[in-house]
Amino acid sequence: MAWLVLVASGVLEAVWATALSASNGFKKVVPTIVFVAGMALSMVGLAFVMTAIPVGTAYAVWVGIGASLTVVVAILRRQEAASLARVALVLGLVACVVGLKVVS
């Protein structure tokens, strides 16, 4: 259960990071609301998970999921260029997250 909540919280991190960018410095209402809600839910999930998974592992997985999904979303929205190096590095990040699950 804790790992499912951790993955969901990592996805929500990507949601709030993307919404933060879309909020244009909190000038747009809907993205700002999505940012606040996504961040709150992501943090609540992370806090819950840290009662069952060690803090270092939980935080690394949370950040890894959020960061890699944020990059993927930015590439798909054509806000960032997709290069072989960028894709390889994101895949490496995902491999590290999977590795942490395997050894935990």
Half-sphere exposure of 62 (CA within 13 A, CB side): 26
Residue 101 is predicted with a pLDDT of: 86
Q: How far apart are CA 17 and CA 1, in angstroms?
A: 24
Residue 4 is predicted with a pLDDT of: 97
| H helix and E strand count, the chain | 4, 0
What pTM, to 2 d.p., does this model score?
Answer: 0.89
Q: What is the mean pLDDT of residues 63-82?
A: 94
* Predicted confidence (pLDDT) per residue in 23-43, tens digit: 999 999 999 999 999 999 999
Q: How far apart are CA 21 and CA 26, in angstroms?
A: 9
